[in-house]
Structure 1
Amino acid sequence: MALRGLTIPEPERAQRYLRHVGYYRFSPYLIPFRSRSQSEQLRPGTTFDDVLDLYVFDRKLRGPSQMSVGSVFRHGRWPPAASRARRR
């Protein structure tokens, strides 16, 4: 990411986040920061925190809806609460 022009003021912190989130989940959030003239290069001044802020915003926005969908895939049934009620 640094080779594409991303400013990373605290590399250790960035590594911790990427280890937790994963590069392939995080990298699409670089797309809005791309330079128009060079497709893979980022706009000058783009920082890791700029991209991280977009990632966090998106996770909060998707949070409730993604958690419901995620529970269906984890438990294999819908709605999870009704399935639990039948087992009693």
Structure 2
Amino acid sequence: MANTTSAKKATRKIARRTIVNKSRRTQMRGAVRTVEEAIKSGDREAALKAMRKAEPELMKAAQRNIIHKNLASRKVSRLTQSIAKLAK
């Protein structure tokens, strides 16, 4: 348990940031899930539309250190490749 005033404040601050980060992570995962579902259904147009929303979500999450930047880049790359395969 925190003893000093600054440690108590840091604990409160961390709790507030955790709530915000959980919300952002959930929003990002939902956007990615939408793309993945569109890919599974084989609907290229829906996948492209969902990807336009998912890519900024992933990159914002990476900028805000919710996920690692390489993870965001890798997810974008793999989703884009999957969408490209739908065209063939």
TM-score (norm 2): 0.32
TM-score (norm 1): 0.32
Instruction: Identify the structure with the greater helix proportion.
Output: 2
Q: Which has the larger radius of gyration?
A: 1
